[in-house]
Structure 1
Amino acid sequence: MSKTLHPLAGALALLIILAFWGTTLVSEVFGPPTTVVLVKSLIPWGFLLLIPALMATGGSGFVLAGQRGGRLVDAKRRRMPVVAMNGLLILMPAALFLAFKAQAGELDAVFYAVQALELVAGAVNITLLGLNMRDGLRLTGRLRHVPA
């Protein structure tokens, strides 16, 4: 079951985070303030799907890895605490703060400073989760390792 759950949950989590990041960027750059307010207001609701997906990914990954070691497994293990702490300490509080500010119509300098931090932290998580996906595909043999 973990062999099926892990890649599906991981892909879902990465897609949700990409959707958050992409819709934020597009609404900020191209959209009117009403679109920014809508996007920032909806993102916390996405946590209802994202958090279970991340929990399923982490739990199934832990089960799959077991006592297994090796360069790829160890790299995935080192990345996940960074992803989790980034999400819990920066991304989720920022998303809730931005939703509150947006709903209050306060698209001010503080809003945009936190928005910039959120975009950078989100890009870090997207990168780390993408690297984990790549390494997972290599572990299963679905992606060949190309030497540098």
Structure 2
Amino acid sequence: MITLLHRISAQIAILCIATFFTATIFVELFGTAESIATVKSLILWPGLFILIPAVVLTGGSGFALAKSRSGKLIRQKKTRMPFIAANGILVLIPCAIFLDQWASVGVFDIKFYVVQAVELLAGATNLILMGMNMRDGFRMSGRFGRSGLNNG
């Protein structure tokens, strides 16, 4: 049961961040000020209220699953998780709040776009790190080869 919870919550977390990232890029390239404000608002609510519990459940279930395991892949996943969490709490959440506030009143100045760039960079970083954790989880479960080498 805990394995299923871990898999589902991790997939939800990655899907949320990927959706936020993609929606942000598309709306910035092709959207209006109103559509940018709408996307920023949706990222904040309900987006973060889906993402945050998913990340917490992923981390908690991951640590529970790792209690009885050891090895290089476990160590790597454990090393990445604090950075993913800190990046989310210290960078992504504040960026989402500020960008929503500014977009809701139509403030699209240099400060907005600097924070937007920071948010995109932090989001991409978390996507990469979470993807690496997912890859390592698949390797541990036997869904991918256990080494980094191609088995073909």
**TM-score class normalised by the smaller sequence:** over 0.9
CA positional deviation for 1:25: 0.7
Instruction: Give, in whole Å, the separation in 2 of the partners of 1:63 and 1:122.
Output: 26
Work out whether 1:91 is the aligned partner of 2:82: no
**Aligned AA (2:137):** G
Q: Percent identity?
A: 47
User: What TM-score, normalized by structure 1, do the two folds share?
Assistant: 0.97
- Specify the alignment match of 2:36 in structure 1: 36
- Specify the alignment match of 2:112 in structure 1: 111
Unmatched runs of 5 consecutive residues or more in structure 1? none
Instruction: Give, in whole Å, the separation in 1 of the partners of 2:69 and 2:148.
Output: 22
Instruction: Give, in whole Å, the separation in 1 of the partners of 2:148 and 2:122.
Output: 29
- Specify the alignment match of 1:147 in structure 2: 149
CA positional deviation for 1:55: 1.0
Instruction: Give, in whole Å, the separation in 1 of the partners of 2:6 and 2:32.
Output: 38
Instruction: Give, in whole Å, the separation in 2 of the partners of 1:119 and 1:68.
Output: 34
- What root-mean-square deviation, in Å, do the aligned CA atoms of Structure 1 and Structure 2 show? 1.0
Instruction: Give, in whole Å, the separation in 2 of the partners of 1:85 and 1:132.
Output: 16
Work out whether 1:2 is the aligned partner of 2:40: no
Q: Spell out the pairing of 1:1-148 with structure 2 (5 A cutoff).
A: 1-45=1-45, 46-144=47-145, 145-147=147-149
CA positional deviation for 1:40: 0.8
Unmatched runs of 5 consecutive residues or more in structure 2? none
Task: Describe the SS at the equivalent of 1:69.
Answer: coil
Residues 99-121 of structure 1, C-alpha deviations (whole Å, 9 max, x = no match): 00000110111000100000001
Instruction: Give, in whole Å, the separation in 2 of the partners of 1:104 and 1:35.
Output: 13
Instruction: Give, in whole Å, the separation in 2 of the partners of 1:62 and 1:52.
Output: 15
User: What TM-score, normalized by structure 2, do the two folds share?
Assistant: 0.94
**Aligned AA (1:6):** H
Instruction: Give, in whole Å, the separation in 1 of the partners of 2:103 and 2:60.
Output: 34
CA positional deviation for 1:146: 4.0
